[in-house]
Structure 1
Amino acid sequence: MSARDLTVLGSASAVPTKARNHNGYLLRWDGHGLLFDPGEGTQRQMARAGLSAHDVTWICVTHFHGDHCLGVPGMVQRIARDGVEHPVRAAFPASGARYWERLRHASVFRDTDVIRERPVSGDRMTLDTGDAPFTLVARRLSHPVEAYGYRLAEPDGVTMLPERLAARGVRGPDVRRLQEDGRVTGADGSTVTLEECSVRRPGQKVAFVMDTRVCDGVGELADGVDMLVIESTFIDADAGLAAEYGHLTAAQAGKVAADAGVRLLVLTHFSERYPADEEHRFRDEAAAVFGGEIALVHDLDRIAMPPRRRT
């Protein structure tokens, strides 16, 4: 199976620091690469991470604040310059189409025709992913400007049970036929169904939630995901500022993860107001309400998807 992992290209919020670049996250998924919120400097960060424009098949913008989109011009021009031939779908809030157009054509360059725009509108929208091995849903969030989160989900599959196959005399090509058709004739002439010889294998799921207050959309995106990549701009002492500016605290991110049954909580989008020696407070406050695995990320971290759920 191809790689499934997240590369953190930037983890700052509005103001980058010496240690943290503006946002940027590349999710690799079975030969596809979803680039979320390419902020300023994303092109260089990808080079530092050993990634290239050819790795990108989607650009997903949550909203048009600069720290989430000012890397779009560089990425589009790099896609053109490097001769990327496969389609690159671009999802963004339809209400910000004029900003997308400015970013898409920000300077003079030899253009490319591989960018396929997918404007997002309404409270919830399922995007056309073609033959990709996942679905992609955008959900409206609560921020001073229109913003969306994204949820990627692999369809559920099945795990075959060898002992049950053997007991019913199903072997060789009949196993594949059983998977494809749902039933075959067993060695004794009886009908064997897929349900008898398999158990459900939940598909893996990832949610990407940036600038937002707590709202129904956050919980819907996060519900049952294996990995939740979520902003935690403030610590709890500054919860008033978080609400005013339309952001989450680390404790709120932790509670979202706990309520949603998340397996791996990935905290990012940290305000520059907190010095490096206080960063542990983000993890501590999230861990106080969420007992699962927490990753407090740094730039160029690469985070593997958690192992599959068995059932």
Structure 2
Amino acid sequence: MPDRELVVLGTSSAVPTRTRNHSGHLLRWDGAGLLVDPGEGTQRQMLLAGVSASSVDVVALTHEHGDHVLGLPGVLQRRATDGATTPVPLVFPAPAAPLVGHLLGAAAHAGALALPCPVDEDGPVRGPDGEPLRVGGAVLHAVALDHRVPACAYRLVEDDGRRMLPGRLAARGLAGPEVGRLRRDGVLTTPSGTVRLEEVSERRPGQVVAVVQDTRWCDGARRAAAGADLLLCEATFADAEEGLAEPYGHLTARQAGRLAREAGARRLVLTHFSSRYPDVAPLLAQAREEHDDVVAAADLDRVAVPARR
């Protein structure tokens, strides 16, 4: 099982179908779990997918529409039933606070189950302690989108690191524990002189996963998707219904493909399909005309985050 993967829990839009549950996506990242948009039925979908509610460390809501949030009370209560005692940070656009309060009121002992973290500006999400909120060591960021209600995309951004270069290490006579000390301290004094970390290593860009749910085409979507190794993006409509996308505040599959291409995303995962499409193969084909690496998600799929470049 990959350390970094997307577990697809639900891929429908407003109306579920026999094969597609309401929205729900769990990002597994180095042993931690980020649950985005637990729509109605998410608790059962997690059971079918073989992931426990206690594996959820952060919950993020992109906006307040019911198909993205109505499963929240059940997931929180299931965590408590499974013995989880640590409340999870619950991230959401600040204007959705009244609805979030009602959702928490539907869960027994809600105060002990979630720690509200409202988002009111773009940038790193602040956790309950006021510090940037991390999932498995990566920082969660929010970016405002353009939907019919306040909405935001999320970016999980890993810190940049350093890749050690064996040839340069050997040339300076470094091996074993010395390499670990140099990585930790940034500088190491040896019998032959001082070695600095940047002399025997190169920058290793951190990985990025982006989630762009309900939105019109907008600059926020492009900024959220920029350079993502994996981009999870809504594809509610096909080209033939492009005239519905704008007023309803959604993207077409082709727009999702274009977004991935223009933003430099590596792998695009399509989700949030309208129930009018029992077969999403045409939507996948339209997105692939814009971008090479595209997956049309199905419920209970697991999609690996691509390996480092």
1-side partners of 2:181 and 2:169: how far apart?
Answer: 12
2-side partners of 1:111 and 1:217: how far apart?
Answer: 32
* Kept after mapping to 1: 8 A contact 2:33/2:135: no
* Equivalence for 1:54: 54
- Structure 2 unaligned residues grouped into runs of 5+: 127-131
Alignment of 1:172-251 (within 5 A): 172-188=176-192, 190-251=193-254
* Kept after mapping to 2: 8 A contact 1:124/1:140: no
- Report SS of the residue matched to 1:252: helix
* Equivalence for 1:267: 270
- Report SS of the residue matched to 2:112: coil
2-side partners of 1:79 and 1:234: how far apart?
Answer: 35
- Report SS of the residue matched to 1:48: helix
2-side partners of 1:213 and 1:5: how far apart?
Answer: 26
- Report SS of the residue matched to 2:170: helix
- TM-superposition CA deviations, 1:171-225 (whole Å, max 9, x none): 232211211222212442x221111211211111100010001111111111101
1:91 aligns with 2:112: no
* Equivalence for 1:284: 285
Q: TM-score, normalised by structure 1?
A: 0.94
TM-aligned CA deviation for residue 17 of structure 1 = 0.3
* Kept after mapping to 2: 8 A contact 1:251/1:286: yes
Amino acid at match of 1:275: P
Q: TM-score, normalised by structure 2?
A: 0.94
* Kept after mapping to 2: 8 A contact 1:9/1:21: yes
* Equivalence for 1:256: 259
Alignment of 1:17-32 (within 5 A): 17-32=17-32
1-side partners of 2:109 and 2:185: how far apart?
Answer: 49
* Equivalence for 1:144: 148
| Corresponding pairs, count | 304
* Equivalence for 2:112: 113
- Structure 1 unaligned residues grouped into runs of 5+: none
Between the aligned residues of both structures, percent identity stands at 52
1-side partners of 2:109 and 2:210: how far apart?
Answer: 34
- TM-superposition CA deviations, 1:116-149 (whole Å, max 9, x none): 1101113445333258411111111000100011
- Report SS of the residue matched to 1:73: helix
1-side partners of 2:172 and 2:136: how far apart?
Answer: 35
Q: Which moved more, 1:177-186 or 1:59-68?
A: 177-186
Q: Which moved more, 1:124-133 or 1:147-156?
A: 124-133
2-side partners of 1:140 and 1:9: how far apart?
Answer: 24
Provide closer, same or farther for how the CA distance between residues 159 and 125 of structure 1 changes in structure 2, counting only shifts above 3 A: closer
TM-aligned CA deviation for residue 111 of structure 1 = 4.6
* Equivalence for 1:167: 171
* Equivalence for 2:129: none
- Report SS of the residue matched to 1:208: strand
1-side partners of 2:2 and 2:73: how far apart?
Answer: 29
Amino acid at match of 1:175: V
- Report SS of the residue matched to 1:99: helix
2-side partners of 1:75 and 1:302: how far apart?
Answer: 20
What is the alpha-carbon root mean square deviation over aligned residues? 1.6
* Equivalence for 1:39: 39
2-side partners of 1:65 and 1:2: how far apart?
Answer: 31
Provide closer, same or farther for how the CA distance between residues 114 and 40 of structure 1 changes in structure 2, counting only shifts above 3 A: closer
- TM-superposition CA deviations, 1:140-177 (whole Å, max 9, x none): 10001000110001111111111211111122322112
- Report SS of the residue matched to 2:77: helix
1-side partners of 2:139 and 2:170: how far apart?
Answer: 35
1-side partners of 2:171 and 2:196: how far apart?
Answer: 13
TM-aligned CA deviation for residue 16 of structure 1 = 0.1
- Report SS of the residue matched to 2:236: coil
Alignment of 1:69-80 (within 5 A): 69-80=69-80
2-side partners of 1:124 and 1:272: how far apart?
Answer: 34
